Amino acid sequence: MYKVCTAFAVLCAMAAPLPALAQDAELSGLREEVKTLQKSYEERMRSLEKRLAEAEARAREPQAAPVAPAASVSAPAARASESAFNPAISLIMQGTYARTSQDPNNFVIQGFVPSGGEVGPPKRSFGLGESELNLSASIDPYFRGVAIFALTPENEVEVEEAYFQTLALPRGFTLKGGRFLSGIGYQNEIHQHAWDFQDAPLPYKAFLGGRYTQDGVQLRWVAPTPVFLELGGEIGSGQSFPGSDRNKNGAGSWALFAHAGGDIDESYAWRAGLSYLRTSARNRSYDDLDALGNPVANSFDGKARVWILDGVLKWAPNGDSRRMNVKLQGEYFRARQDGTLTYDDTAQAAPQFGATFTDAFRAAQSGWYAQAAWQFMPRWRVGYRYDALRYGDVDIGIVANGLGPTAADFPLLGRHNPTRNTAMLDFSFSEFSRFRLQLAADKSRAGVTDNQVILQYIHSLGAHGAHRF
């Protein structure tokens, strides 16, 4: 039988075109090669065992000592140059073409204290988005460093994130320090270019000024359980909305979050979370108009608290997301502010009151959004999002005490429940480029609907980005 086979193989090889001859030698060499490998393996094994025995006899060395990859058969030669140590660099380029029925410069979320963040729709006509420069590398065996700079279309540079992160803490702990996107909520930690829509959901805009960034430290712990469970806490300066720079010692903000997640089966994966943010503000000011339409400066002093409940469910047939996949995402926010509000129209030439008023301010408001993105064929996705904010209870002491300004002097805080419907269609040429069309009917302002058409491109250059869940 064996002979017949060999003869057949030889015949085939002879009948085959020329290049096959070279491979014929390889074919008969295969057996030798595997044999040699096995033999050399046995030899090495013996010598290693001997060395190991010697080493163990010498000392009780802990196994944590970094060992060179002794077993590597033919490790590729490392590049020997200074640039080999350069961090991974990637650059995200974005731009929009926008058409809005309302002036984006008048954008307000009626009924909610303005955050001062960039939460409005993009500027009309062609507009450059933020370009994001991303550098990351291991610092040493103990730390990893990440820095992300946003180059704004106004030719400014913002440090979006710049943090170190531990790599070697035991028992599932990670410590992060510097400036980083807070771990609260689901979308907060995701960079804008990886969002499913061009802009943030309304609750993020109203309660966190788009997203919450900490200047501080974060400690996370991942539980050693087969189901994903992660607990985290942060303390920071609390300078971003809903807090403000307080010029005080100690932490101005702290946050706690818990995430759980897992696979339901091969096709479904989920993550859910609960987060709490507590921060305080001093002289957090915003501009409004009084009843006569003249500018007024208001400022808030006090505490702000935000609760977030989030959930994500993803589906892909057999977990293969290339052909088709669905992502459902939703978050529910409750936000409270307790403190005092100061009304000041003294800066005006002909003020209505010419005085400052300070009294209690309390707001208990909420909001939620739910969105779905469906990749119905390779490269193409459609998505829909609905967001809604509840005005809730807002008590303005200055108005209630009846001594001066009335509700008409706080038009921005007038009762309104904003809603928005958003639809999008995007196309990705590859993992590194995406074009998106987004249509929105935005009722953030009272009584008017802003119909928005936004075309967007997102291109990524350089190091391969991460596929975050």
Q: Is 323 in the site for another protein (CB under 8 A)?
A: yes
- Options 128, 229, 328, 372; binder of another protein; rule CB under 8 A: 229
Give 134's contacts (C-beta < 8 A, 6+ positions apart): 88, 89, 90, 91, 92, 146, 147, 148, 462, 463
The closest of 308, 406, 310 to 366, measured between CA atoms, is: 308
Q: Is 294 in the site for another protein (CB under 8 A)?
A: no
Q: Is 81 in the site for another protein (CB under 8 A)?
A: no
Q: Among 150-158, 199-207, 256-264, 279-287, which window interacts with another protein (CB under 8 A)?
A: 256-264
What is the per-residue burial (b if ≥16 Cβ within 10 Å, else e) of 2-16?
Answer: eeeeeeeeeeeeeee
Closest distance between another protein and the C-beta of residue 426, in Å?
15
Q: Is 269 in the site for another protein (CB under 8 A)?
A: yes
Q: Is 271 in the site for another protein (CB under 8 A)?
A: yes
Q: Is 261 in the site for another protein (CB under 8 A)?
A: yes
Residues 260/273, Cβ–Cβ less than 8 Å: yes
CA distances from 126 to 9, 91, 122, 401, 454 (A): 67, 20, 9, 48, 10
Closest distance between another protein and the C-beta of residue 19, in Å?
7
Q: How far is CA 451 from the centre of its chain?
A: 27
Q: Which value, to the nearest 10 degrees, does the dihedral of the CA atoms of residues 22, 28, 32, 35 take?
A: 130
Residues in binding contact with another protein, number by CB under 8 A? 90
Q: Is 247 in the site for another protein (CB under 8 A)?
A: no
Binders of another protein in range 113-142 (CB under 8 A)? 138, 141
Q: Is 157 in the site for another protein (CB under 8 A)?
A: no
Element housing 97 (H / E): strand 88-100
Closest distance between another protein and the C-beta of residue 237, in Å?
25
Give the residue carrying structure tokens 């370009």: 131
Q: Among 167-175, 281-289, 385-393, 405-413, which window interacts with another protein (CB under 8 A)?
A: 167-175
The closest of 361, 245, 256 to 307, measured between CA atoms, is: 256
Q: Is 144 in the site for another protein (CB under 8 A)?
A: yes
Residues 266/252, Cβ–Cβ less than 8 Å: no
Closest distance between another protein and the C-beta of residue 54, in Å?
13
Which value, in Å, is the radius of gyration of the alpha carbons in the chain?
30
Closest distance between another protein and the C-beta of residue 107, in Å?
34
Closest distance between another protein and the C-beta of residue 72, in Å?
6
Element housing 138 (H / E): strand 131-138
Closer Cβ to another protein, 80 or 227, answer by number: 227
Closer Cβ to another protein, 58 or 322, answer by number: 322
Q: Is 221 in the site for another protein (CB under 8 A)?
A: yes
Closest distance between another protein and the C-beta of residue 179, in Å?
18
Binders of another protein in range 168-197 (CB under 8 A)? 168-170, 172-174
Q: Is 9 in the site for another protein (CB under 8 A)?
A: yes
The two structure tokens encoding residue 136: 């990351």
Q: Is 43 in the site for another protein (CB under 8 A)?
A: no
- Options 167, 292, 439, 448; binder of another protein; rule CB under 8 A: 167
Binders of another protein in range 379-398 (CB under 8 A)? 379
Quote the CA–CA distance of 204 and 63 in Å, as a whole number.
Answer: 48
Q: Is 225 in the site for another protein (CB under 8 A)?
A: yes
Q: Is 83 in the site for another protein (CB under 8 A)?
A: no
Which amino acid is residue 200, in one-letter code? A
Q: Is 468 in the site for another protein (CB under 8 A)?
A: yes
Q: End-to-end distance of the chain based on CA atoms, in angstroms? A: 55
> Phi/psi of residue 95, each to 5°?
-160, 160
Closer Cβ to another protein, 31 or 58, answer by number: 31
Quote the CA–CA distance of 414 and 398 in Å, as a whole number.
Answer: 14
Closer Cβ to another protein, 211 or 271, answer by number: 271
Quote the CA–CA distance of 300 and 112 in Å, as a whole number.
Answer: 13
Q: Is 60 in the site for another protein (CB under 8 A)?
A: no
The two structure tokens encoding residue 150: 């946003």
H helix intervals, 231-310: none
Closest distance between another protein and the C-beta of residue 276, in Å?
17
The closest of 240, 245, 253, 255 to 282, measured between CA atoms, is: 245
Closer Cβ to another protein, 26 or 287, answer by number: 26
Closer Cβ to another protein, 16 or 439, answer by number: 16
Closer Cβ to another protein, 72 or 105, answer by number: 72
Binders of another protein in range 416-455 (CB under 8 A)? 429-432
Q: Is 321 in the site for another protein (CB under 8 A)?
A: yes
